[in-house]
């Protein structure tokens, strides 16, 4: 059984904060495809279309028949550990900070033997379940977990490097007025976050769920308006040094296409929240988080943004909203690269239409705020960079991967 992590002590103001180092960054293009699968939480290996051989590590030609038809496919994740070793010293700066480090050789049921990180509860010899996760550099690495769930399994230090677990971390939920924000705050509290700061814009306006929100354990209501640069700066001045995870639940939704009469004001409002709000948040909190990516148990870990799946392709009934989501998606890609040097993950949680006031006329299936909150916790706990919540989000994403141009026509019918 894993030793449960202890609640971290208060920060020693005399100690230098451990600078974030990264595990090896460079990968081949073939290996990046494996990372892309891992980014969505999928354990995928290359399979040769010609002879059926499973190949690992990723390569450009089949080791058996030399065919170049190697595509990543979700694979059987079972295997057996056949050897282990513990590394006690290394010249690599990232691993030096984290010694000792246990690794092993696993014979996969689907064929290849692989070198992988070993969870502390894996005994030898034993059956294991393999996961493919992004490390702090954003590259897929393999880790062997015990076949069955063990106690405090998520607290394993090697596994924790591959996730952004909210346990004992301090989280900022940016908009507590929305049902999604309130559900996220409740879920984070349940998941063991030590403080959940919840932003409320224009506190002089009452909102539904106000008392319930304030009563959630470890919730602290903070004044925050993402459309106001001063407000964002003031909050980061107050809590920026101890914000480990941001969950951006702010979303300005309005129906209407590009030709709707006189909607420039509304369009601007949408961009101000969805795009520039994200920018203000990133600019105020990002640099501080990037510097605290290796700051112990409650290091800065993740920036989560909840955005509509129509970021990928425009749905004309919410034309401008989709455009703001597309801009948001693009900025998240930028932010992902900018926060990576600090080992801070940027996670996109794409949703289908949310069950809310603005989408009453949208036919089901719709996503409940509770499901979105679950997806946020799953993304943080599983280290998943891109997740899709609800049938519509999954469907749109699948069709986008298949053919974006076809999807454009389908959504525009």
Partner 1 sequence: MDMADKDATGLLAALATGIRSGGVEAVDLTHTLSPDFPVMVLPPELGQCQPFRIEEVSRYDDRGPGWYWNNISMSEHAGTHFDAPAHWISGRNLPRGTVDELPFEKLIAPAVVLDFSAESRADEDFLLTRGHIEAWEAENGRIEPGCWALFRTDWSKHLGTAKYLNLREDGAHSPGPDASAMEFLVKERDIIGFGTETIGTDCGQGNHMSPPYPAHFILHGNGRYGLQCLAALDRLPARGAIVFAAPLKILHGSGSPLRVFALVPAGTGKE
Binding site for partner 1 (CB under 8 A): 202-206, 223, 225, 227-231, 262, 265-266, 269
DSSP β-ladder status, 70-74 and 78-87: unpaired
Closest separation in Å from C-beta 203 to partner 1: 7
Closest separation in Å from C-beta 53 to partner 1: 56
Closest separation in Å from C-beta 390 to partner 1: 24
Closest separation in Å from C-beta 266 to partner 1: 7
User: Residues 240, 216: contact at Cβ < 8 Å?
Assistant: no
Q: In angstroms, rounded to a whole number, what is the distance separating the alpha carbons of residues 204 and 201?
A: 9
Q: Which is nearer to partner 1, 338 or 356 (CB)?
A: 356
Strand order in the sheet with 219-223: 219-223, 195-200, 170-173, 245-248, 302-308, 345-351, 386-389
Q: Which is nearer to partner 1, 148 or 204 (CB)?
A: 204
User: Residues 186, 368: contact at Cβ < 8 Å?
Assistant: no
Q: Which is nearer to partner 1, 266 or 381 (CB)?
A: 266
DSSP β-ladder status, 44-48 and 54-55: antiparallel
Sign of the CA dihedral running 261, 325, 316, 369: negative
Q: Which is nearer to partner 1, 269 or 338 (CB)?
A: 269
Q: In angstroms, rounded to a whole number, what is the distance separating the alpha carbons of residues 92 and 20?
A: 13
Sign of the CA dihedral running 121, 93, 25, 343: positive
Q: Which is nearer to partner 1, 33 or 224 (CB)?
A: 224
Closest separation in Å from C-beta 225 to partner 1: 7
Closest separation in Å from C-beta 229 to partner 1: 6
Q: Which is nearer to partner 1, 203 or 209 (CB)?
A: 203
As given in the structure block, the two tokens for residue 9 are 């002590």
Burial 154-181 (b: 16+ CB within 10 A, else e): bbbebbbbbbbbbbbbbbbbbbbbbbbb
Closest separation in Å from C-beta 205 to partner 1: 6
Q: Which is nearer to partner 1, 3 or 202 (CB)?
A: 202
As given in the structure block, the two tokens for residue 236 are 């980061």
What is the residue whose two structure tokens read 């700061």? 197
């Amino acid at each position: 059984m894993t030793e449960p992590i202890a609640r971290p002590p208060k920060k020693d103001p005399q100690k230098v904060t451990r600078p974030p180092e990264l595990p090896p960054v460079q990968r081949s293009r073939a290996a990046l495809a494996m990372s892309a699968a891992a980014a969505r939480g999928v354990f995928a290996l290359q399979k040769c279309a010609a002879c059926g051989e499973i190949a690992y590590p990723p390569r450009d030609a089949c080791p058996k028949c030399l065919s170049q038809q190697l595509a990543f496919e979700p694979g059987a994740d079972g295997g057996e550990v056949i050897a282990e070793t513990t590394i006690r010293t290394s010249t690599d700066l990232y691993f030096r900070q984290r010694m000792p480090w246990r690794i092993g050789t696993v014979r996969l049921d689907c064929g290849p033997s692989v070198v992988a990180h070993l969870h502390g509860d894996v005994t030898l010899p034993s059956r294991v379940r393999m996961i493919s996760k992004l490390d702090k550099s954003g590259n897929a690495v393999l880790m062997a977990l015990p076949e069955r769930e063990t106690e405090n399994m998520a607290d394993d230090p090697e596994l924790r490097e591959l996730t952004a677990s909210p346990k004992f971390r301090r989280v900022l939920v940016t908009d507590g007025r929305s049902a999604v924000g309130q559900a996220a705050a409740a879920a984070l509290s349940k998941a063991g976050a030590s403080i959940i700061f919840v932003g409320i814009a224009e506190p002089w306006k009452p909102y539904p769920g106000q008392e319930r929100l304030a009563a959630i354990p470890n919730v602290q209501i903070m004044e925050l308006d993402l459309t106001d640069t001063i407000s964002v700066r003031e909050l980061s001045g107050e809590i920026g040094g101890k914000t480990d995870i941001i969950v951006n639940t702010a979303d300005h939704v309005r129906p209407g296409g590009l030709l709707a009469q006189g909607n420039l004001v509304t369009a601007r409002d949408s961009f101000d929240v969805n795009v520039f709000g994200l920018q203000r948040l990133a600019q105020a909190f990002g640099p501080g988080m990037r510097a605290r990516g290796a700051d112990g148990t409650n290091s800065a870990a993740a920036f989560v943004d909840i955005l509509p799946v129509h970021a990928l392709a425009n749905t004309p009934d919410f034309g401008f909203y989709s455009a703001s989501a597309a801009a948001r998606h693009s900025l998240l890609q930028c932010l992902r690269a900018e926060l990576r040097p600090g080992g801070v993950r940027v996670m996109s949680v794409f949703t289908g239409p949310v069950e809310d006031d603005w989408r009453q006329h949208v036919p089901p299936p719709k996503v409940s705020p509770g499901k979105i909150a679950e997806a946020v916790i799953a993304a943080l706990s599983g280290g998943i960079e891109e997740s899709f919540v609800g049938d519509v989000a999954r469907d749109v994403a699948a069709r986008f991967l298949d053919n974006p141009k076809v999807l454009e026509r389908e959504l525009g019918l």
